[in-house]
Amino acid sequence: MAKCDLSIEIADSQDKYFGGQTVRGTVVVRVDSDVRCKGLQVQTAWATHGYGNIDQGVGESVILFEGEWTAGETYRYDFELKVARWPPTYHGHYLNVDHAVEARASIPWSFDPKASELIHVTAVDGPEAKLDSSTNQATGAAGAGCAIVGTVFVGIFLVVMLLNPFAWILAGIVGLVGGGWWVFFRYLPRVALGKVQYQLQTNRLAPGEEVVGELVLRPKRNVRLNRIVWKITAEEVCVSGSGSNRTTRRHSLHEQELEVVGATTLTAEQETRIPLRFTLPDQPFYSLDLSDNDLTWNTHLRVDIPRWPDYVDKASFLVVPDVATGSEDRPDGLSPMEMPARVGVAPRQSAEPPALTFAETVAHVWASRGDAEQTDMLVGAVEGIPFDIEAIIERRLLYGNDDPAAYRDGYVVWGHYPDPELPLTLYIPKHLGDEFEQAGSRVWKGRGRITGYDRRHGRLQVHVEDHV
């Protein structure tokens, strides 16, 4: 029987956070019998689950207590920890990522009592946020080591080949098979098409952005094509087990095929440039690379040549939150990691509305209203996202359209959210102005987008688009 029981109480009655945000709470320890605790540890952590071998990581960890606990007592230890910035909470088919606050008491000669409380984390940074320079250096050293080992193996192989004539037979078979594959799938298509170049303009994109690529062809002779097809796919790839038990499962999340060119004839010695464009959905699935759990986006190109092997090529790209794309539109003076990001929540498989609501956003902003940096990060992360808005109207400002953020010929209305009473500034388009002329303390519902935070007046700024 456990000597004590742990539980975790998260403060603020919320369980949704942005990456890097602080979670506050209390670890409660109920003690059944006198016990010595070598360390009460609490941490924010994430772990994959589902089909693939588990990968996990820690955001922040702290030891809350070491010492003796007395039977019959209840102890409470407050904590403040940052959640990991990456990966985001994700629930797919084979691949899932969950974050939790975990507590563990190290008790000698006993199974350590544990407790955990799941929390939802939305990413505002890309996956590079978890890398540090030491990892990059290690990769470089490992690469050099592999090259040396590889050279040694090739050298030994060549010596064995020279000394053993039977090895030539095996080498011949391998060479024939490999060579045949290369000729059929690589050489012959290029013979027909001449110079072929396929590339993507950028391999890092955010939700809603356009995947832009180009195919360049310059055949030596006139060549007829049936069609050129460009396919964009997203899939979960999860590996379970090891050795002979290692199995891979794939689940398609998105597949779209575009016929970019129909039946046509390419002219000899003439360069043909074919643009390729595809707009990502607003809330697609972020690329994930978590050991044996991957979410990958790929493009597949096929040039269908009649009575000839097809030319095929493939290029991958990453889908990351806005901030991690290093967009040239970022404000001057801010590094990509400081740039406010749009929130892209990896959705569940079913057709669900966005995971983040206006009520939850207001609760977060309310909780962080004393911390300017935190508020700016939160507001920047949800900027531009459409929400169903709810507000208690206070008054329509007389000189509101002096505000540069106001709609042209529109109105500015002050109000607040019902609970918590976060002050709001609503920018109303002209055609909705009459609704707010006779303002009383009533609840107004509509549709709008968060566009900023007025620090001077402590108000969340919302551009209203329509009423309900």
Partner 1 sequence: MNVPEARHDSSPRERQHWLPFAAFNLRCNPFGEKTQDDRAALAVVDAQRWVSVATQPQRAIQFIGECGRGKTTHLLALRRILPEAAYVYLPEDGPLPEIPRGRPLMIDEAQRLPCRTRRQVWRRGGALVLGTHVDLSKTLQRYGYRVETIQVERQADPEQLAKIFNRRLEAARLDPTRPVARISREETAILLTRFETDIRAMESYLYERIQQLAGADCGEVRFID
Give me the residues that bind partner 1 (CB under 8 A), please: 13-16, 49-54, 89, 91, 93, 96, 98, 118, 120, 240, 242-245, 348-350, 352, 355
Q: How far from chain centre, in Å, is Cα 372?
A: 25
SS3 404: coil
- Minimum CB separation from partner 1 for residue 36, in Å? 18
Q: What is the rounded CA–CA span in Å between residue 222 and residue 272?
A: 12
Q: What is the rounded CA–CA span in Å between residue 436 and residue 299?
A: 50
SS3 202: coil
- Minimum CB separation from partner 1 for residue 46, in Å? 13
Rg (the chain; Cα; Å): 29
Query: Closest CB to partner 1 among 274 and 355?
Result: 355
Query: Closest CB to partner 1 among 145 and 179?
Result: 145
Query: Closest CB to partner 1 among 83 and 301?
Result: 83
Query: Closest CB to partner 1 among 117 and 376?
Result: 117
Q: What is the rounded CA–CA span in Å between residue 384 and residue 388?
A: 13
Query: Closest CB to partner 1 among 95 and 377?
Result: 95
Residue 84's CB: how many other CB atoms inside 10 A? 23
Within 196-271, where are the H helices? none
Query: Closest CB to partner 1 among 26 and 203?
Result: 26
126 within 8 A of 321, measured Cβ to Cβ: yes
- Minimum CB separation from partner 1 for residue 390, in Å? 19
Query: E strands, 310-458, where?
Result: 311-319, 386-396, 411-416, 423-428, 443-454
What pairs with residue 461 in β-bridges?
425, 452
13 within 8 A of 364, measured Cβ to Cβ: no
Within 61-208, where are the H helices? 133-163, 166-182, 188-193
Query: Closest CB to partner 1 among 231 and 251?
Result: 251
- Minimum CB separation from partner 1 for residue 340, in Å? 24
Query: Closest CB to partner 1 among 118 and 147?
Result: 118
Q: What is the rounded CA–CA span in Å between residue 276 and residue 274?
A: 7
Query: Closest CB to partner 1 among 7 and 201?
Result: 7
Q: What is the rounded CA–CA span in Å between residue 414 and residue 423?
A: 8
Q: 């909780």: which residue's tokens?
A: 367
- Minimum CB separation from partner 1 for residue 367, in Å? 15
Query: Closest CB to partner 1 among 233 and 240?
Result: 240
Q: How far from chain centre, in Å, is Cα 195?
A: 36
- Minimum CB separation from partner 1 for residue 373, in Å? 26
Secondary structure letter of residue 194 according to DSSP: B
Query: Closest CB to partner 1 among 269 and 352?
Result: 352
What pairs with residue 32 in β-bridges?
none
- Minimum CB separation from partner 1 for residue 132, in Å? 25
- Minimum CB separation from partner 1 for residue 348, in Å? 5
Q: What is the rounded CA–CA span in Å between residue 85 and residue 339?
A: 14
Query: Closest CB to partner 1 among 89 and 461?
Result: 89
37 within 8 A of 77, measured Cβ to Cβ: no
- Minimum CB separation from partner 1 for residue 249, in Å? 9
Q: Classify the C-alpha dihedral 406-412-418-419 as positive or negative.
A: positive
- Minimum CB separation from partner 1 for residue 54, in Å? 5
Phi, psi angles (nearest 5°) of residue 376? -60, -40
How many contiguous H segments (helices) and E segments (strands) does the chain have?
5, 25
- Minimum CB separation from partner 1 for residue 115, in Å? 11
- Nearest CA to 416 out of 391, 396, 439 is that of 391
- Minimum CB separation from partner 1 for residue 179, in Å? 26
Q: Which uninterrupted H or E stretch holds 18?
A: strand 16-18
Residue 160's CB: how many other CB atoms inside 10 A? 10
